[in-house]
């Protein structure tokens, strides 16, 4: 086993073919209909978006941003964009920010602002930061996801790293993100839930989201961690190079399908 970029890659390669997966009783081919939501049910769950408890956290995030950092005005100034261009700019994250020397997510930008203002950094993995992140991302609601992976060498490298992270089989079962989310596997039912196409469900556009199973606001990186845990993949740290790269890659999946930002989402 070797360590590369902090992720353990097993020497063994386990090829997962469709045929092999179908031999397992819990992965049912074409059983999507059994657990696919009826139109009436889908309407009910869509309606729930109108009363999403996460909206309260988004509102709170706006208040914290205003009090602690000076609100959108300060954010736009820090990012060197006009307030008018801020929403579209937000919809292009993660981005390479020259003055930070890295490809970063919105939460890291907020931390950098705190440092610039001589304030204490809010932890990335904290309720306050999740709320602020959700608020700032919601400013881009209705904007098309517009990540430019050719913009500079840094974002190009991040995209490449993200793709590798997504495609590399690792962990106790030799699974990669692609094992369950590739085009030929999606739709099949695993533990009563049809496996989603991450671009089609616009993960990058609908997270942070309210998770019903957790009764709380969850960020995309935390969701990735949850999935990794279940697939027996070593969990990648929040805010790490690989995690941000994964966000970049997953954002392009939604961008390819012309998806928009819609925060906060509502998920199982």
Partner 1 sequence: MAEARKSMIKFKPKKFKVGDVIKVDFIVIHPMETGTRKDKKTGKIKPAKYIDSITFSLDGKPFTSMKVWETVSTNPYFSVNMKVLGKGKITVDYTDNTGEKNSKSKKLKPKG
Partner 2 sequence: MERRNFIKSICAATAVAAVASPSALLAKDTPKGGNVLTYDAAVAAITGGKVVTDSDKVKLTVPEIAENGAVVPVKVNVESPMTDADHVKAIHILTTKNGNARSADIMLTPMNAKGYFATRIKLAGTQDVVALVELSDGSFLRAAKPVKVTIGGCG
Paired strand residues for 122: none
**Smallest separation (angstroms) from partner 2 to the CB of 109:** 27
The reply on whether position 214 binds partner 2 by CB under 8 A is yes
Residue span 45-84 as binding mask against partner 1, x where in contact by CB under 8 A, dash where not:
-----xxxx-xxx-xx------------------------
- Among partner 2, partner 1, none, what binds residue 173 when CB lies within 5 to 8 Å by partner kind? partner 2
The reply on whether position 226 binds partner 1 by CB under 8 A is no
The reply on whether position 173 binds partner 2 by CB under 8 A is yes
Residue 259: partners with Cβ closer than 8 Å, 6 or more residues away: 144, 145, 199, 202, 204, 205
- Show contacts with partner 1 in window 193-222 (CB under 8 A): 210, 215
Neighbours of 240 (CB within 10 A): 14
The reply on whether position 234 binds partner 2 by CB under 8 A is no
Whether residue 94 has a cis bond before it, omega within 30° of 0: yes
The reply on whether position 227 binds partner 2 by CB under 8 A is yes
Query: Which range touches partner 2 (CB under 8 A), out of 18-26, 89-97, 146-154, 244-252?
Result: 18-26
Greatest C-alpha distance within the chain: 58
- Among partner 2, partner 1, none, what binds residue 50 when CB lies within 5 to 8 Å by partner kind? partner 1
For every residue of 47-104, DSSP letters joined together read: HHGGG-THHHHHHHHHHHHHHHH-HHHHHHHHHT--TTTHHHHHTT-SEEEGGGTEEE
Q: At what angle do helices 71-79 and 54-69 cross, to 10 degrees?
A: 70
Q: How many CA atoms lie within 13 A of 116 on its CB side?
A: 15
CB 132 within 8 A of CB 65: yes
Residues that bind partner 1 (CB under 8 A): 50-53, 55-57, 59-60, 210, 215
**Residue numbers at the binding site for partner 2 (CB under 8 A):** 12, 14, 24-27, 35, 37-38, 40-41, 44-45, 47-48, 172-175, 180, 190-193, 212-215, 223, 226-227, 229-232, 268
């Amino acid at each position: 086993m070797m360590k590369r970029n902090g992720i353990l890659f097993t020497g063994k390669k386990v090829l997962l073919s469709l045929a092999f997966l179908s031999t397992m009783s819990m992965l049912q081919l074409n059983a999507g209909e059994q657990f696919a939501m009826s139109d009436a049910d889908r309407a009910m769950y869509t309606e729930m978006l109108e009363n999403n408890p996460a909206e309260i956290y988004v509102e709170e995030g706006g208040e914290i941003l205003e009090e602690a950092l000076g609100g959108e005005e300060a954010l736009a100034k820090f990012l060197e964009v006009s307030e008018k261009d801020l929403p579209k700019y937000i919809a292009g994250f993660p981005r390479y920010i020259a003055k930070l020397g890295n490809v970063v997510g919105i939460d890291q930008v907020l931390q950098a602002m705190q440092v610039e203002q001589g304030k204490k950094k809010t932890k990335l993995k904290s309720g306050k930061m999740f709320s602020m992140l959700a608020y700032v991302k919601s400013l881009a609601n209705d904007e098309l996801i517009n990540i430019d992976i050719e913009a500079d060498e840094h974002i190009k490298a991040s995209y490449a790293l993200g793709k590798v992270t997504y495609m590399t089989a690792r962990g106790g079962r030799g699974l990669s993100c692609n094992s369950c989310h590739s085009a030929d596997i999606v739709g099949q039912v695993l533990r009563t839930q049809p496996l989603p196409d991450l671009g089609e469900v616009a993960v990058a556009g609908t997270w942070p989201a309210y998770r019903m199973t957790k009764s709380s606001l969850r960020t995309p990186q935390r969701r990735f961690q949850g999935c990794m845990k279940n697939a027996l993949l070593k969990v990648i740290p929040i805010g790490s190079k690989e995690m941000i790269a994964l966000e970049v890659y997953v954002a392009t999946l939604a961008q390819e399908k012309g998806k928009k930002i819609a925060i906060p989402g509502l998920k199982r």
